[in-house]
Chains A and B, each alone.
Chain A
Amino acid sequence: MANSEDKGFGVGAALPRKEDKRLLRGKGMYVADVDIPGTLDVAFLRSAHAHGRLGGIEIPEGMEDRVYTAADLTRVNPVRVEPSVPGFKPADHHPLATDKVRFAGECIAACLGANRAEAEDLADALIADIEELPALHDPVAAREDPPALLHEEWGDNVYVQLDISGGDIDSVRDAPIVVTRDYRMNRQSIAPLEPRAVLAHWDARAEELVVYLSTQIPHLMRTGLSQMLNLPSHQLRIIAPDVGGGFGGKARLMPEEIVVCAIALDTGKPVRWLEDRREHLMAAPQAREHIYRVTAYADSDGIIQGIDAELTVNAGAYALWHSGPFMETGMAARNLTGPYHIENMRCRTWTVATNKPPLGVYRGVARPGACFAIERTIDAVARAVGRDPLDVRMANMVPAEQMPYEAVGGMKFDNGDYPESVRRAAEMVGYDDIRAQQGGTAVDGRVWGVGLSSYTEQTAHGAAEWTRRGSPIIPGYESATARINPDGTLVLLVGIHSHGQGMETTLAQVAHEELSIHPDAITVKFGDTAISPFGFGTFASRSMVMSGGAVSNACIVLREKLAAIAAHHLQCTTEQVRFADGEAQSDGGSIPIAELARIAHLRQDGLPDGVDPTLDATATYEPDESTGVFSYATHAAVVAVDPHSGAVELVDYAVVEDCGNVVNPMIVDGQIVGGVAQGIGTALYEESVYDTNGQPLSTTFADYLLPGATEIPDIKIGHMVTPATFTRFGLKGMGEGGAIAPPAAIGNALSDAFAAIGAEFNETPYTPRRVLDALERAPKA
Chain B
Amino acid sequence: MKAPKMTYARADSVAQALALLAEHGDGANVLAGGQSLMPTLNMRLSKPDLLIDINRLEDLAGISVEDDAVRIGALTRHAAVQRSPIVAEHLPLIAEAMPHVAHVAVRNRGTFGGSIALADPAAELPACILALGATITVESVRGRRDIAAADFFKGLFETERQPDELLIEIRIPCQRPGTVHAFMELSRRQGDFAIAGVACAAETDGETVTDAKLVYFASEDRPTLAANAVAAIAGKVWSDESRSAAMAALSEDLDPMDNLQGSAAFKLHLQRVLTGRVLDQAIERARAA
A: residues with CB less than 8 A from B are 115-117, 120-121, 124, 276-278, 644-645, 647, 685, 689, 697-698, 700, 702-703, 705, 707-708, 710-711, 767-769, 772
Contacts and interface: CB of A to CB of B under 8 A. Distances in A.
A278 B273 contact: no
Nearest to A117: B2
Contacts of B7: none
A278 B1 contact: yes
B195 interface: yes
A277 B195 CA distance: 23
B260 A647 contact: no
Interface residues on B, range: 20 to 34
Interface in B177-192: 186, 188-192
A708 B260 contact: no
Contacts of A115: 2
A768 B1 contact: no
B3 interface: yes
B156 interface: no
Contacts of A769: 261-263, 266
B186 A647 contact: yes
B231 interface: no
Interface string B17-58: 000000000000000000000010001100000000000000
Contacts of B270: 645, 768
B5 A117 contact: yes
A644 B44 contact: no
A124 B1 contact: no
5 contacts: A117-B4, A121-B4, A276-B1, A768-B195, A768-B261
Given A689-B260, A768-B195, A768-B261, A117 B3 contact: yes
B269 interface: yes
A697 B260 contact: yes
Contacts of B4: 117, 121
Given A116-B2, A697-B260, A698-B260, A710 B269 contact: no
A278 B40 CA distance: 13
A124 B189 CA distance: 34
Nearest to A703: B260
A188 to B, nearest CB: 14
Given A689-B260, A769-B263, 9 more contacts: A120-B44, A121-B4, A121-B5, A278-B1, A710-B191, A767-B261, A768-B186, A768-B195, A768-B270
Nearest to B276: A644
B193 interface: yes
B179 to A, nearest CB: 27
B1 A767 contact: no
**B interface SS class:** loop
A645 B2 CA distance: 38
A114 to B, nearest CB: 12
A685 B188 contact: yes
Contact of B266 (A117, A702, A772): A772
Contacts of B192: 705
B180 to A, nearest CB: 21
A710 B186 contact: no
Contacts of A705: 188-189, 192
Nearest to B273: A644
B262 A707 contact: no
Given A768-B195, A769-B261, A645 B5 contact: no
B78 to A, nearest CB: 18
Interface in B251-271: 260-263, 266, 269-270
B118 to A, nearest CB: 14
Contacts of B189: 685, 705, 707-708, 710-711
Nearest to B4: A121
A768 B187 CA distance: 10
A772 B269 contact: yes
Contacts of B43: 278, 700
Interface in B139-191: 186, 188-191
Contacts of B263: 769
Contacts of B193: 702
A116 B266 CA distance: 42
B260 A768 contact: no
Nearest to A41: B2
B268 to A, nearest CB: 12
Contacts of B261: 767-769
A682 to B, nearest CB: 15
Contact of B186 (A121, A645, A689): A645
A124 B262 contact: no
Interface string B64-95: 00000000000000000000000000000000
Nearest to B261: A769
Contacts of B262: 767-769
Nearest to A698: B260
Given A708-B189, A711-B190, A767-B261, A645 B273 contact: yes
B196 to A, nearest CB: 8
A705 B193 CA distance: 12
B105 to A, nearest CB: 12
A697 B154 CA distance: 26
A582 to B, nearest CB: 46
A391 B270 CA distance: 38
A710 B39 CA distance: 24
A124 B44 CA distance: 10
Nearest to A706: B189
A697 B191 CA distance: 21
Contacts of A700: 39, 43
Interchain residue pairs A-B with the least CB separation, the first 5: A117-B2, A710-B190, A769-B262, A276-B1, A644-B273
Nearest to A643: B273
A121 B44 CA distance: 10
Contacts of A121: 4-5
Nearest to A276: B1
A647 B2 CA distance: 36
A772 B272 CA distance: 14
B250 to A, nearest CB: 14
A121 B4 CA distance: 7
A714 to B, nearest CB: 16
Most B CB atoms within 10 A — which of A276, A710, A769?
Answer: A769
B288 to A, nearest CB: 19
Contacts of A645: 186, 196, 270, 273
A689 B258 CA distance: 15
B190 A708 contact: yes
A710 B270 CA distance: 22
A746 B43 CA distance: 36
A117 B6 CA distance: 12
A771 to B, nearest CB: 11
A566 to B, nearest CB: 57
A644 B191 CA distance: 21
Contacts of B3: 117
A277 B42 CA distance: 12
A44 to B, nearest CB: 12
Nearest to B3: A117
A772 B4 CA distance: 43
A753 to B, nearest CB: 18
A697 to B, nearest CB: 6
A202 to B, nearest CB: 26
Given A278-B43, A644-B273, A697-B260, A767 B188 contact: yes
B273 A277 contact: no
A602 to B, nearest CB: 55
A768 B189 CA distance: 11
A439 B196 CA distance: 32
Contacts of A708: 189-191
Interface in B183-225: 186, 188-193, 195-196
A708 B191 CA distance: 10
Contacts of B188: 685, 705, 767-768
